[in-house]
Amino acid sequence: MSSEESPLLGHTISAAADEAAYEEELQDDVYNRFTKNQKRMIVAVVSWTALIPLFVSESFVPTVPAVAKEFNSTGEIINLAVTFSMASAAITSIIWATYSGFYGRRPIYLACLPCFCIGSLGVAWCNSVPSLMLWRVLQAAGTASGISVGAGVLGDIYKVEERGTAIGLFMGASLLGAAFAPLAGGIATHYASWRVMQYALFLAGVIALLLTFAYLPETSHPGTLGIDKLYERGELERGKFKWVWLNPFRSLALLKSPNLVLITFASIAGLMTDFTLLIPLPYTIGERYNIDNEALVGACFIALGLGNILGAPLAGRLSDKTVIKWRKRRGGEWVPEDRLRAGLPAFAILVPLSVLLFGFTAQYVDGTLGIVLNLLWLFMNGIGVDLSLSPVNTYLVDIGRSRSAELMAVQKATRNLVVGIATSGILPLINRLSISFTNALAAIIALLGFCCLWVTVRYGQHMRTWVDVGSPES
């Protein structure tokens, strides 16, 4: 029998039947610490917190022209706020994840959410481009734990056969931001001010903080936290607190794993298609089809967001079924890479095709037909990216074990840094060349990402023998 708690080195574990049964019983004890109702509440709380990062980023995009006009700047300059906030989230997510493995998930949420609330007020009150950039950086830092630590929480409470569905629902709920944040930002900008949206984000942060305080227990497995080790060695009296300086960037050593490098590039390639469509949308759809109402431009984002909402839970369920199917086919042996098989068809077809068709439609198809087709391609991209990449998030939890939050954070940080830098060049590239050329380039990159995912599925079990990312010494 292959055990989730076994070192993920590609070995099949041979053990006596009674030892296997005892191992299974231990796992059941760990994952049955919370009732079904408690688990549902935990999923709801972490999903609400994970919803906030996408609201922060996506609600800002349709407001860029208005912000640029107010500050006598340009869309290219204001878009740097998106780049800086992504870089901030990338760096701080590693910090939050590292400390979540030492002090626990709950304390990290209680520390980062106040930063988000303060940052949101700062953005709402800023009066210059530099101050906007500064407060956006703090705001993003406060949201950075939402996805990585949240996925770690779900890995703490759900078994491997249930985990994909749980994380799929979690990602689907969080991706409501992709659907409705641009509309909310557009409505606020058109009928009031872009600053109103920042006050709404502040309120969302306060609600998240209260929910976390009231309903989120510590979910880390007993005895696995760094501070637990201090208690065990008698270096700290149980129940007392001691600040320990950690090197969060030691997690970057996880990039020695070829599996992590390959799926990180796959994630970058898939996400780049999203941003290639979304970042210039106020210009590619707004100006191209003479839509000058920010609320209507924001409504166009709903198509992609609905694809995200449908794709994430569907991907989670499919990935769980794929794991069960292949585990049965292998005679009970669990190979984490089997989960990634669920994302291959969408990555090969829906993701590159959607961004390619959007580029040619936006450039060559006029009128209502052009708008309708572009909305269809946005929906296709939303569902395709989630079907492709949601299994990746669960895969990281599968192979990371107690370091799952760190693994998620390193992948997310690397992805966001690269995507954040790349997105700053999307508008200049469209202006210099054309939208069809830019989107064709994104489609080619997406196909390279598919190749990386395929290589991981095909050779990942062997490559994990090189670096065990679930061990603290990795």
For residue range 55-64, list pLDDT tens digits in order.
888 788 778 8
Q: ∠ CA(277), CA(141), CA(284), 5° rounding?
A: 15
Task: Select the highest-mean-pLDDT range: 84-93, 111-120, 189-198, 365-374.
Answer: 111-120
pLDDT over 60 at 363, yes or no: yes
Domain 32-463 class in CATH: mainly alpha
Give the type of residue at 253: A
| Alpha-carbon span 86 to 105, nearest angstrom | 22
Task: Give the CA distances from residue 79 to residues 66, 136, 179, 434, in Å, rounded to whole numbers and listed in that order.
Answer: 12, 12, 20, 19
Give the C-alpha separation, 335 to 303, whole Å: 35
Q: Averaged over 450-463, what is the pLDDT?
A: 91
Residue with tokens 């734990």: 145
What residue ranges do the domains of the chain occupy? 32-463
Residue 239 has pLDDT above 80, yes or no: no
CA–CA dist 438, 417 (Å, integer): 20
Is residue 396 within 8 Å of 408, Cβ to Cβ?
yes
AA identity, residue 173: A
Question: Poorest-confidence range of 104-113, 180-189, 373-382?
Answer: 180-189
Q: At what angle do helices 294-329 and 367-400 cross, to 10 degrees?
A: 40
Average pLDDT, the chain: 82
Residue linked to tokens 């994952």: 31
Secondary element (H or E) of residue 176: helix 176-191
Pick the closest to residue 228 from 401, 406, 102 (CA basis). 102
| Residues 259, 469: Cα–Cα separation, whole Å | 9
Which pLDDT band, with edges at 50, 70 and 90, does 170 fall under? confident
- Phi and psi at residue 203, in whole multiples of 5°? -65, -40
Confidence category of residue 15, pLDDT binned at 50, 70, 90: very low
pLDDT at position 20: 40
CB-based burial, 141-163: b 16+ in 10 Å, e otherwise: bbbbbbbbbbbbbbbbbbebeeb
Token pair, residue 73, equals: 């700047």
Calculate Rg over the CA atoms of the chain: 22
What is the spatial distance between Cα 398 and Cα 388, in angstroms, rounded to a whole number?
17
DSSP per-residue letters across 28-58: HHHHTSS-HHHHHHHHHHHHHHHHHHHHHHH
pLDDT band at 28 (very low <50, low <70, confident <90, very high): low
Determine the pLDDT at residue 22.
40
Q: What is the mean pLDDT of residues 256-270?
A: 90
Say yes or no to pLDDT of 11 above 50: no
CB 145 within 8 A of CB 90: no
Pick from 379, 383, 378: which is nearest to 343 by CA? Answer: 383
Q: Are 168 and 319 in contact (CB under 8 A)?
A: yes
pLDDT at 473: 43
435 or 210: whose pLDDT is higher? 210
This prediction's pTM: 0.70
Share of the chain above pLDDT 70, in %: 91
Q: pLDDT digit string (tens) for 266-316?
A: 999 998 898 888 777 777 777 777 777 777 777 777 888 788 778 877 888
CA distance 45 to 204: 12
**CA 222 – CA 218 distance, rounded (Å):** 10
pLDDT at 454: 95
Q: What distances in angstroms separate CA 459 from CA 10, 324, 398, 466, one per listed residue?
A: 11, 20, 17, 12
From residue 211, alpha-carbon distances to 50, 58, 96, 208 in Å are: 13, 23, 19, 5
Check if the beta carbon of residue 52 is closer than 8 Å to that of residue 204. Answer: yes
Secondary structure of 153-174 as H, E, C letters: HHHHHCCHHHHHHHHHHHHHHH
Task: For residue 451, give the 3-state DSSP assignment.
Answer: helix
